[in-house]
Structure 1
Amino acid sequence: MEPVKVDLEPLRHAAGFGDILAYERICRTPPHRRFLVILIAVLLFAAAMLAGLWFLGRSDILAVAPILGVFVVGYTVLAAVSFVWYAVGLARRVKVAAFAWRNGWAYADLLENTRRPGAPFARVARGQERAVVACDDERMPFELGVHRSVARGQEGATIQRPFAFIELPLPSSVPHIVLANRRRSIIPTLGLGRGAARMELEGEFATVFRLIVPEGYQQDALYIFTPDLMARVLDLGSGAEIELVSDRLYVYLPGGTRFDRPATMAAAVVLAEEFHRRFSVRTELYRDDSAGALAARAGVAVGLRGQRLGGSGVSIMAIAATAGVLLLSAGVTALSLFGGEILSGFGGS
């Protein structure tokens, strides 16, 4: 089989104004979200703020209430910074799209409410995926993008950090296995796999990863994650987390992963090709001997116990934020109840 070759040239050039306009036209971006519309809105807002500042200065209101001028300038700077942040993100997506189209791959600017079986996708009530690239090359069929959770009302509890992902198909369904990263937590794994086995790996692997598998499937996990495969995982994805669920393999990367950079995209393609090849070899003949004869006749490859780890995972950041709010609330309450006595005690001393 010929080695995978991709054209990285579109990623080596910055996106121009014409590229952005063409991108929005191809992606059918709604008019209110287009670059020119937002640019004009920001310029009009800045002009209105400056006119308001000039009026306040002429009427001597600033001499009495200078805080008004601070608010006007602050909102103007905030609008400018927000627009720059939006424009930079848009330009990066334009480069990723140009790369995908140059190589004959599919691209989507925005996907909402996708139903991927991975644990971090399932725990959010509403998610968005940006700059999604889909390749149907049989040597490395994959999808990659950046996932963000979006909350509305009571869905606020499902908010989690953005993360980048690479999705690869597997030739057969396998037990739900998570290779969690000890050095960098990317997806919420605290509480994931309640009652499951947490396997300690050997050698250098143990300092980077730990395996979370359904109880009773430890040998199955070792059959898939052989030492030679783990060595390549360590080489290619030491900063990632990996999940096998159903007939899908997910590689999770930090949300700030820059797929618009040639080196990053090249590394992602190499990882996709090698992981697809190696994990396919280890999983294509997999069958769960404990699934039972009835499941085997029905074509079910994995028994009920091994199909999904218990729990949904809790973000450590969410726990830290909640603890911080509780501590702050406790401090404010204590100060309001006993602050007078404390201050009087200091005064008396």
Structure 2
Amino acid sequence: MPLRAATELDTAALTASVPLAEARAIAREADAAGPASARRPRAAILLLIVAMFGLTLTLFAPMSVRMLSGRPDAADIAFAVIGILIPLGMLAVPVWIAARWLAEDRRRVRLRGFAAANGWTYRLWAPSGGAVGAAFEAGGDENLFDVLRTADQGAEFGRYKSVTGTGRSRTVKTTEYVTFSVPAELPHIVLDSRANDGPFGRSNLVLDPVRDQRLKLEGDFDRSFRMYCPTGYEADALYLLPPDIMQSLLTHARALDVELMGSTVRLYAPQGIITTDGDSWRRLLDTVDSIRDMARQWAQWRDDRLMPENAVGSFPGARPLGVARQGRRLRNRFPWFAFVFGLVGLVVWLISVISEDSEGIAGWLGS
């Protein structure tokens, strides 16, 4: 059943004017509802920067006035201009930060209004609950933001953020996603879109499958997606994604990563899913509906590996529903580079410790 026809989707709230009071109210609500790591240190930061602006202006303004008095040469004028620009630059920083926060708050108000107009729900924040997916980073501080769910809870749209490490090793992973269920049990298949790759062709996905699971195809589809399926499931993947479905994915989801796993389909993109552009929402819902239409064919698929050896009957209804263990998850590559880098660091540290304490160790052994 379609989520909502594109012509029926009410997108007026996405471009509506948002009063300042509403933006400030939703900012307070977000700070109260969200995790501590996502709260804005607005007062402390802005007051500190304004104080620095005042101090800088106090120091540089008299100097600039003195340099411009009398008969200033080019150097005096240059230093005076710099003395004026520095405090102005200091003032521009809090203004820029405040403008970004205000734009984000107004976007949240518009998304909430958009959800309400279409009978959906909207949450500023939700715990990730240990989200499982090819673009999700396990083991970090994981949170979901701007979570929209359709009226029948059949589809969820949101922004996933994971923070791992601390200090210089701190890494932030952000991706936007769509997740919905289909009436089928499918093996783990990932279509890694080349259109949303990062610099140097780096995939948007966290998942890094073992290369022998790559299923290379011919034509435009292989130029648009890197396709992965569990070893031994190549024929099943081609059955689930025949040429007509591949063409539909090229038409509707070329810029999205697609993941099939069990009865769940997930779509990912670095950005552009949670948006205030009405046409983008219409295209996205068309994409979800087109994939749900594909699921009618997927519902006929059965994993022959679950069939007892002496089973009789080959029609789908006689075969068990589900996926054999080897087809449920793609095998991930071992992070050899990180392992070797960490091992080298450990060896260097041990050598430095031993060299520093060599005299003490020698004395202890000789005693």
Q: CA RMSD in A?
A: 4.0
Indicate yes or no: 2:15 matched with 1:9: no
- Equivalent in 153, 176, 186 of residue 164 of structure 1: 176
Structure 1 residue 45, shift from structure 2 partner: 4.4
| Greater radius of gyration (CA) | 2
Moved more, 223-232 or 108-117: 108-117
| Unpaired segments ≥5 residues, structure 2 | 68-78, 312-317, 342-367
Q: SS at the partner of 1:216?
A: coil
Distance 1:252 1:201 in 2: 22
- Equivalent in 116, 132, 141 of residue 147 of structure 2: 132
Structure 2 matches for 1:116-131, cutoff 5 A?
Answer: 116-123=131-138, 125-131=140-146
Distance 1:124 1:69 in 2: 48
- Equivalent in 23, 29, 34 of residue 32 of structure 2: 29
Structure 2 matches for 1:227-306, cutoff 5 A?
Answer: 227-257=243-273, 259-278=275-294, 280-291=295-306, 293=308, 301-306=322-327
Contact 1:113–1:126 under 8 Å retained in 2 = no
Indicate yes or no: 2:123 matched with 1:108: yes
Structure 1 residue 224, shift from structure 2 partner: 1.2
Distance 1:181 1:233 in 2: 11
Contact 1:53–1:69 under 8 Å retained in 2 = no
Distance 2:194 2:212 in 1: 17
Q: Corresponding residue for 1:148?
A: 161
Distance 1:277-1:62 versus aligned 2 partners, 3 A rule = farther
Q: Corresponding residue for 2:190?
A: 178
For residue 80 of structure 1, what is the amino acid of its counterpart?
V
Q: Corresponding residue for 2:238?
A: 222
Distance 1:57 1:262 in 2: 49
Distance 2:29 2:292 in 1: 31
Q: SS at the partner of 2:281?
A: helix
Q: In percent, how many aligned pairs have the same letter? A: 23
Distance 1:73-1:277 versus aligned 2 partners, 3 A rule = same
Distance 1:208 1:165 in 2: 19
Distance 1:289 1:269 in 2: 33
Distance 1:218 1:210 in 2: 14
How many equivalent residue pairs?
A: 309
Contact 1:115–1:121 under 8 Å retained in 2 = no
Q: TM-score, normalised by structure 2?
A: 0.70
Distance 1:269 1:244 in 2: 18
Q: Corresponding residue for 1:309?
A: 330
Q: TM-score, normalised by structure 1?
A: 0.73
Q: Corresponding residue for 1:333?
A: none
Contact 1:123–1:312 under 8 Å retained in 2 = no
Contact 1:117–1:246 under 8 Å retained in 2 = no
Moved more, 43-52 or 197-206: 43-52
| Unpaired segments ≥5 residues, structure 1 | 323-349
Distance 1:212 1:286 in 2: 18
Distance 1:277 1:28 in 2: 40
Structure 1 residue 256, shift from structure 2 partner: 4.8
Structure 1 residue 191, shift from structure 2 partner: 7.0
